[in-house]
Amino acid sequence: MHNKQKKIAVINDISGFGKCSLSVSLPVISAMKIQCCPLPTSVFSNHTGFESFFYTDFTEYMSRYIDEWEKLGLKFAGILSGFLDSEKQIEIVKDFIERFKTRDTITVIDPVMGDYGKLYPTYSRELAKKMKLLVPYADILTPNLTEACILTDTPYTAFPEEALLFSICENLSRMGPEKIVISGLESGEDLVNYVFEKGEAPKTVRAHKVGVCRSGTGDVFSSIIAGDAVNGVGFFDSVKHACEFIEKALKRTVELGTPVTDGICFEEFLKEL
């Protein structure tokens, strides 16, 4: 009786201030007429881009939280996994997918691990290797170039040739996911997203760079991808949709003079989703 409406389970941390992670996914997915069910991995007063923040790890509570969902008989049209900061959390997410994924569930894995050829400070090489365990469960994988290289043991290069991108995506696809987008590739004044679908010729979506890099942009991207997938939108059209929405939101963010730490002003355009 709890499954009358389409639902996406989103596994990520939550920040009370500074738009990223669950604070982004909740409104974005809801605006796409899908119920967003958050499974927090940790709780922040404000994200780690600020000088000071309160933080508590939710790992020890996650399994009991999930058990209650199972008692309710919840069924999910989609599962979206984002930033995970321990091997234990990766194991919990793996278990969650095995318990709740059906043949009709679309699983999106955003393997948030690093950027610009380096792991994030909270990530170790061992933890990055563990992330590979989730790739076979993904229907859609949304890494940036750094993360795609880590997952395939490919040496990082900032400006890869198309042949290398295709090879990386083929290697990732052999691990499980049939749809992959390598996001945020630098190309002059633009950012390029490399879109791979198994059995089809790769495509690219280009968007103009607006201002500096801001927290939460990737979370908006993966949330739209997950929402569109559940709503039956084609993968390439979904990537284009996400890029156009983010570019518009970034332009408005710059116009408002919003501090970089505060994220992007996506709320201005939610009704368009």
**Residue 114 CB neighbours (<10 A):** 21
- CA 42/CA 83 separation, integer angstroms: 10
Predicted pLDDT at 52: 95
| Terminal CA-CA length for the chain | 28
Write down all domains in the chain, each with its CATH number in brackets: 7-264 (3.40.1190.20)
Predicted pLDDT at 211: 81
Predicted pLDDT at 212: 80
Tens of pLDDT, residue by residue over 228-242, are 999 999 999 999 999
Alpha helices in 76-118 (DSSP H): 87-100
Tens of pLDDT, residue by residue over 189-216, are 899 999 999 999 999 999 988 988 888 9
The answer to whether 27 and 267 have CB atoms below 8 angstroms apart is: yes
The answer to whether 215 and 12 have CB atoms below 8 angstroms apart is: no
Tens of pLDDT, residue by residue over 76-131, are 999 999 999 899 999 999 999 999 999 999 999 999 999 999 998 888 889 999 99
Predicted pLDDT at 215: 87
Predicted pLDDT at 259: 95
Q: How confident is the model at residue 264 (pLDDT cuts 50, 70, 90)?
A: very high
Supply angle C-alpha 185, 130, 110, rounded to 5.
Answer: 35
Return the closest-CA partner of residue 138 out of 168, 109, 105.
109
Predicted pLDDT at 196: 98
Predicted pLDDT at 86: 93
Tens of pLDDT, residue by residue over 158-188, are 999 999 999 999 999 999 999 999 999 988 8
Tens of pLDDT, residue by residue over 239-263, are 999 999 999 999 999 999 999 999 9
Predicted pLDDT at 227: 98
Looking at residue 163, its amino acid is A
Where would I find the beta strands (DSSP E) of the chain?
Answer: 7-17, 35-46, 55-57, 78-81, 106-109, 114-115, 118-119, 140-141, 179-187, 190-197, 203-208
Tens of pLDDT, residue by residue over 28-77, are 999 999 999 999 999 999 999 999 999 999 999 999 999 999 999 999 99
- CA 13/CA 10 separation, integer angstroms: 9
3 state DSSP class of 170: helix
DSSP 173-227: HHHS-SEEEEEEEEETTEEEEEEEETTS--EEEEEE--SS--TTHHHHHHHHHHH
Supply angle C-alpha 206, 210, 215, rounded to 5.
Answer: 100
